[in-house]
């Protein structure tokens, strides 16, 4: 497989993992993700993954229901660990070695994350799944994935989600929204586009990490992005 990138940080949405059910983990969706990831990893691309937790718990929505925000965010971070374990299991069941590294020490559920352990795993051909977000409340997994992408020196952050790119407005709410094939970090900020949170976008800008937003729910799309096909939106 032709590859534009050597090392990637793939961000997967927790909510997408729920599939049509809208909550929890859809095993069919999980298996479909595992196959797509195996396809690129077995062609030699080094793959680090950060996965969200929105299919299980979000701290902010917990706070609106009376939960303490910090405890709610800790619940959200644990949700990302559950999703990471599920993904590592799905990868191993299709023959793709994977290792879970956690932002907070919770050995033996995963190994405590460090940049060097992640890179060691990548060089061995294992998919490094970096769980628990940044380890801090008041952040998102988008910011966690920007942070880890920069730390592990990825060539690009691939945001695999339910929509096929960045639009002039949320395409799930505004049917007249149009898609950008590419857009600068500053324009995302100036237009107030909500496809990623601003902390994540700012971190990527400051550290020169390009982002590709694409639809992960269509099988084969991940390999197309890796091959440099112009699907999705490049944020640079």
Ligand X SMILES: Nc1ncnc2c1ncn2[C@@H]1O[C@H](COP(=O)(O)OP(=O)(O)O)[C@@H](O)[C@H]1O
Q: Which residues are part of a known binding site for UMP?
A: 53, 73, 134-141
Residue 185 contact among ligand UDP, ligand X, none, beta carbon within 5 to 8 Å by kind:
none
Task: Out of 54, 110, 160, 171, point to the residue binding ligand UDP (CB under 6 A).
Answer: 54
Whichever of 19 and 53 has its CB closer to ligand UDP, that residue is 53
111 is an interface residue for ligand X by CB under 6 A: no
Task: Out of 13, 80, 102, 221, point to the residue binding ligand X (CB under 6 A).
Answer: 13
Question: Nearest distance from residue 161's CB to ligand X, in Å?
Answer: 3
Whichever of 87 and 121 has its CB closer to ligand X, that residue is 87
Q: Which residues, 6 or more positions from 137, have their beta carbon under 8 angstroms from its beta carbon?
A: 59, 69, 70, 73, 74, 77
Task: Out of 58, 99, 148, 205, point to the residue binding ligand UDP (CB under 6 A).
Answer: 58
162 is an interface residue for ligand X by CB under 6 A: yes
Task: Out of 118, 127, 163, 204, point to the residue binding ligand X (CB under 6 A).
Answer: 163
170 is an interface residue for ligand X by CB under 6 A: yes
Q: Which of residues 128-187 bind ligand UDP (CB under 6 A)?
A: 133-134, 136-137, 139-142, 144
158 is an interface residue for ligand X by CB under 6 A: no
């Amino acid at each position: 497989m032709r590859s534009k990138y050597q090392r990637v940080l793939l961000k997967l949405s927790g909510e997408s993992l729920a599939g049509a059910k809208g909550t929890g983990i859809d095993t069919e969706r999980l298996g479909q993700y595992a196959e797509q990831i195996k396809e690129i990893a077995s062609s030699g691309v080094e793959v680090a993954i950060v996965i969200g937790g929105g299919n299980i718990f979000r701290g902010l929505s917990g706070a609106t229901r009376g939960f303490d925000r910090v405890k709610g965010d800790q619940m959200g971070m644990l949700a990302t660990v559950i999703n990471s374990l599920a993904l590592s299991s799905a990868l191993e069941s299709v023959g793709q070695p994977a290792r879970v590294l956690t932002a907070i020490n919770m050995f033996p559920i995963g190994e405590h994350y460090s940049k060097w352990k992640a890179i060691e795993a990548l060089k061995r051909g294992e998919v490094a799944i970096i769980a628990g977000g940044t380890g801090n409340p008041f952040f998102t997994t988008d910011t966690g994935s920007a942070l880890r992408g920069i730390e592990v020196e990825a060539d690009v952050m691939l945001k695999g989600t339910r929509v096929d790119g960045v639009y002039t407005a949320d395409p799930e709410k505004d049917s007249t929204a149009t898609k950008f094939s590419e857009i600068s970090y500053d324009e995302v900020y100036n237009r107030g586009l909500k496809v990623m949170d601003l902390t994540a976008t700012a971190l990527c800008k400051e550290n020169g990490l390009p982002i590709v937003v694409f639809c992960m729910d269509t099988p084969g799309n991940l390999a197309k992005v890796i091959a440099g096909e112009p699907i999705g939106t490049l944020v640079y």
